[in-house]
Amino acid sequence: MELKMKIFRFDPRKDEKPRYQTFAVDAQPTDRLLDCLNRIRWEQDPTLSFRMSCAHGVCGSDGMRINGICGLPCQKLVKDFKDEVLLEPMPVFRVIKDLVVDLDLFFEKYNSIKPYLLTRTPAPEQERKQSPEEQAKLEESIRCILCACCTASCPVNQKKETEKYVGPAALVRAFRYLFDSRDEGSEERIALLGHKDGAWGCQTLWKCTEVCPKKIPVTKQIGQIKRRIHEARRPPK
Amino acid sequence: MISKHDIVIVGAGLAGLRAAVECTDQADVAVVSKVYPTRSHSGTAQGGITATLGNEEEDHWEWHFFDTVKGGDYLSDQDVVEIMVKDAPRGIYELEHMGVPFSRTPEGKIAQRNFGGHTREYGKKPVKRACYAADHTGRVVLDTLFDQCLRHRVKFYAEHYVLSLVFDGGICAGLVTYDLATGELHFMRAKAVLLATGGCGKIYKTTSNGFATTGEMFNLAYQSGIPLEDMEFIQFHPTGLYPLGILVSEAARGEGGILRNSLGERFMERYAPTIKDLAARDVVSRAILTEIREGRGIGGKDYVHLDLTHLGEKKISEKLWEITSFVKNYVGVDPVHAPIPVQPTCHYIMGGIPTDPDGRVLNDEKGSVVQGLYGAGECACVSVHGANRLGCNSLLDLIVFGRRSGIAMKGDIARYDHRPIGDDPLKSAGAKIAKLWNPKGPGKIDSLRQRMQSLMMEYGSVFRDEEGLKKGIEGIRSLKERYAGAGVADQGKVFNYALMEAIELGHQLDLAELILTSALYRKESRGAHFRNDFPERDDRNYLKHTLVFPTPYGPDVKYKPVKITRFQPATRIY
B103-114 pLDDT tens trace: 999 999 999 999
Q: How large is the average pLDDT for residues B274-286?
A: 97
Whole-angstrom distance, CA of residue B485 vs CA of residue B386:
38
Whole-angstrom distance, CA of residue B299 vs CA of residue B308:
19
Which residues of chain B make contact with A49, given a CB cutoff of 8 A? 494-497
Q: How large is the average pLDDT for residues B9-27?
A: 97
Which residues of chain A make contact with B442, given a CB cutoff of 8 A? 46
What is the DSSP pairing of strand B112-120 with strand B29-33?
Answer: unpaired
Q: How large is the average pLDDT for residues A214-235?
A: 95
Contact B244 A60 (CB under 8 A): no
What pLDDT score does B441 carry? 57
pLDDT band at A83 (very low <50, low <70, confident <90, very high): confident
Q: How large is the average pLDDT for residues A91-108?
A: 97
Chain A: give the shortest CA distance to residue B85, in Å. Answer: 16
By the CB < 8 Å criterion, does B179 face chain A? no
Strands of the sheet containing B228-229, edge to edge, are B228-229, B544-549, B556-561
What radius of gyration, in Å, describes the C-alpha atoms of chain A?
20
Judged against a pLDDT cut of 80, whether residue A99 lies above it is answered with: yes
Which residues of chain B make contact with A119, given a CB cutoff of 8 A? 97
Judged against a pLDDT cut of 90, whether residue B18 lies above it is answered with: yes
Residues 249 through 268 of chain B touching chain A, CB cutoff 8 Å: none
Which residue in A30, A59, A182 is closest to B39 by CB distance?
Answer: A59
Which residues of chain A make contact with B38, given a CB cutoff of 8 A? 59-60, 145-146
Whole-angstrom distance, CA of residue B359 vs CA of residue A225:
43
Residues 150 through 169 of chain B touching chain A, CB cutoff 8 Å: 150-151
Q: How large is the average pLDDT for residues B373-378?
A: 98
Contact B35 A96 (CB under 8 A): no
Judged against a pLDDT cut of 70, whether residue A237 lies above it is answered with: no
What is the DSSP pairing of strand B544-549 with strand B556-561?
Answer: antiparallel
Classify B270 as helix, strand or coil: helix
Q: What is the mean pLDDT of chain B?
A: 96
Query: In a mutagenesis test of the B interface, which of A31, A42, A48, A112 is the best target, namely the one with the most B β-carbons within 10 Å?
Result: A42
What pLDDT score does B443 carry? 58
pLDDT band at B93 (very low <50, low <70, confident <90, very high): very high
Which residues of chain B make contact with A143, given a CB cutoff of 8 A? 136, 139, 321-322
What pLDDT score does B442 carry? 54
By the CB < 8 Å criterion, does B119 face chain A? no
Residues 285 through 324 of chain B touching chain A, CB cutoff 8 Å: 321-322
Judged against a pLDDT cut of 90, whether residue B487 lies above it is answered with: no
Beta bridge partners of B306: B259, B340
pLDDT band at B415 (very low <50, low <70, confident <90, very high): very high
By the CB < 8 Å criterion, does B535 face chain A? no
Query: In a mutagenesis test of the A interface, which of B55, B209, B211 is the best target, namely the one with the most A β-carbons within 10 Å?
Result: B211
Give the model confidence (pLDDT) of A190-214 as tens digits. Answer: 999 999 999 999 999 999 999 999 9
Residue of A nearest to B446 (CA): A42
Q: What is the mean pLDDT of chain A?
A: 96
Contact B104 A103 (CB under 8 A): no
The torsion region of residue B16 among left (phi > 0), alpha (psi -120 to 50) and beta comes to: alpha
Q: Percent helix, strand, coil in chain A (nearest 5)?
A: 40, 15, 50
Catalytic residue, candidates B281, B286, B403, B537:
B281
Classify A126 as helix, strand or coil: coil
Give the model confidence (pLDDT) of B345-359 as tens digits. Answer: 999 999 999 999 999
Which residues of chain A make contact with B488, given a CB cutoff of 8 A? 46
What pLDDT score does A47 carry? 94
Query: In a mutagenesis test of the B interface, which of A116, A120, A173, A176 is the best target, namely the one with the most B β-carbons within 10 Å?
Result: A116
Q: Strands, E, within B88-216: which ranges?
A: 112-120, 125-131, 155-158, 160-168, 171-179, 185-195
Give the model confidence (pLDDT) of B505-522 as tens digits. Answer: 999 999 999 999 999 999
Contact A41 B134 (CB under 8 A): no
Reply yes or no on whether B415 is catalytic: no
What pLDDT score does A19 carry? 97
